[in-house]
Chain A
Amino acid sequence: MSCWETIADYGLRSLGIGERLLPRSDFTLCQQVVLIGSGMIWNVYFGVLALFSGFFLATALALGKFSANPWLRKPAEWFIFLFRGSPLFIQFFFAYFLFLSLKQVAPVFTPFTSAWAGALVVLFLNTAAYTGEIFHGALLSIPKGDTEAADAYGFSGWTRFRKIIWPTMLRLAWPAYTNEAIFLFHATTLVFFSGFPALQQRGDALYYASYFADKTFNPFVPYPILAGFFILLTLCLIGIFGLINRRLNRHLPQARRAKMRFRMNLIR
């Protein structure tokens, strides 16, 4: 079987398209690369959607934590503490069994017991909490002069936030936010190890990598392949976020632009 046939059979295997049975013996390198790559579809799906939706909740949380009104501040603080203080792995487990019990009460929750929706909700809330903390830190370090200048120009309310506070907050938070995005993509690998079932063996990249490692007793092939895919993904992310960072900082003189520093790979 040539490699092209393997790609045709297994390229979209993680979505349930193509060959039904996973290879069982005589694993070729091509099969491993294609299947693990096919699993990356799920990692990208979880990462992109959670990051995008989490961004808005994070902004709201940061503003809530920043506000002087305790009715807004306390819930935001508790939410952030709850999701940052406990392991993501336990959150996945808890959410999965919570959705299982809720399913008994109301059938609305049926989709949430499968990974595509349930894990996405957990990742969304989790990344919102982490990002909210980053944005809150950025809000605290907005230069006093910026807001004073905004007041002097007569900005107020929504325009003041939209034109002055929000862009500055994003600009200051962006390097840390980039790291958060990278962690989030790494965290997506936990999904199928935490209760959420991989129906018909439609799993993510790590699911297939550990499948091969279990079958071949040889971890030295699938995990480096996985690492390679993730390094590629990380490089893409850094590229995209770097472009946005350039745009956010475009009004500053060259020397004062925030340097992006990447600290990879901490477990949540």
Chain B
Amino acid sequence: MSFYVSFGTVLLLLAITAPVALGFGFAGAMAARSPVFPLNWIGRAYIAVVRGVPDIAFFLFFVIALDQGFEWLRHQVKCPDWDQPIRQGSDFIVCDAAKLPLNTSAQWIHETYGFLLAVLTFAIVFGAFAANVLFGAMRAVPRAQLETAEAYGMTGRQSFWRILVPQMWVYALPGLSNLWMVLIKATPLLFLLGVEDIVYWARELGGTKNPRFSDYPHGDWRMWYFLVLLVFYLGFTKVSEVVLDRLMKRLTHGQATAGGEMQRKAA
């Protein structure tokens, strides 16, 4: 049963991460574009740093780092009169009230917290990729469009939201759909972050079951479980491919690009 639920976990992760990462990406791209000095510097640094560091190392690093960061913040707020150092040798010690989640809380809160950390990690990493794509897309919108907007007397903010943003999606879509594919294929890494996902359950359930401990004894079936996962991901990729193709067709409709021109001629 948990095996089937864990498919839901993966889908849930995708459903939450994709919009959050897109939001991170949008914020990052806007920051990188902004004329204000420290803001554009921060945006560019975010994109460059996350994209430049080896992949899963980032996932492993971020989960612990975020966890310790949150606990440290809560420690500063909740226990101001704590005089011992936080790092004692190889231990990371905060006061009990600052533990996240609290020692007393239920098991499901611990699991949800772990899942949320994973989502945040995914969103930060993929947000940087999305920021890069969106940043490129914003620059790909023809200059003349923005100049026309200015000529009509729109303010910078108006031309950004009314002209630039609606038009950039068609330029961003190839990059974003690529990113979506990569995101799908990154979901098994949840296992490394300590979430009980499909990989975890495939290993657990597929392993040899002894008749003494289980009502349904069987040999080593892990191979078959992983074959199912393989097929699941293949199907998922195929479906996404088809859907994204359709979306691209709709978005290019009426655009001043080669694709839009081809559609116009075909019609």
Known: A97-B222, A101-B220. A85 touches B237 (CB 8 A): yes
Complex interface residues of chain A between 175 and 230 (CB less than 8 A to chain B): 186-187, 189-190, 193, 195, 206, 209-210, 213, 215-220, 223, 226-227, 230
- What is the chain B residue whose CB lies nearest that of A85? B237
Does A90 count as interface, using CB distance less than 8 angstroms? yes
Looking at chain A, what size class is its interface with the partner chain? 35 or more
B194 to chain A, nearest CB (A): 11
Interface of A is mostly: helix
- Cβ of A206 and Cβ of B56 under 8 Å apart? yes
- Cβ of B61 and Cβ of A265 under 8 Å apart? no
- Cβ of A100 and Cβ of B230 under 8 Å apart? no
B222 to chain A, nearest CB (A): 4
B28 to chain A, nearest CB (A): 16
Known: A89-B188, A89-B199, A97-B226. A217 touches B55 (CB 8 A): no
Residues in chain B near residue A268, CB distance under 8 A: 182, 185
Residues in chain A near residue B65, CB distance under 8 A: 219-220
Complex interface residues of chain A between 228 and 266 (CB less than 8 A to chain B): 230-231, 263-266
B94 to chain A, nearest CB (A): 12
Residues in chain A near residue B222, CB distance under 8 A: 93, 97, 100
- What is the chain B residue whose CB lies nearest that of A217? B92
Residues in chain A near residue B91, CB distance under 8 A: 217
Q: Which of A27, A195, A209, A267 contacts B189 (CB 8 A)?
A: A267
Residues in chain A near residue B61, CB distance under 8 A: 213, 219, 223
- Cβ of A90 and Cβ of B230 under 8 Å apart? yes
Does A69 count as interface, using CB distance less than 8 angstroms? no
- Cβ of A226 and Cβ of B57 under 8 Å apart? yes
Q: How far is the CA of A263 from the CA of B55 in the complex (A)?
A: 13
Chain B 207-230 per-residue mask, 1 if CB under 8 angstroms from chain A, else 0:
000000000000010110011011
Residues in chain B near residue A143, CB distance under 8 A: none
Tell me which of A81, A97, A209, A231 has the highest count of chain B C-beta atoms within 10 A of its own C-beta.
A97
Residues of chain B having any CB pair with chain A under 8 Å: 51-57, 60-61, 64-65, 68, 87, 90-92, 129, 182, 184-189, 191-192, 199, 202-203, 206, 220, 222-223, 226-227, 229-230, 233-234, 237-238
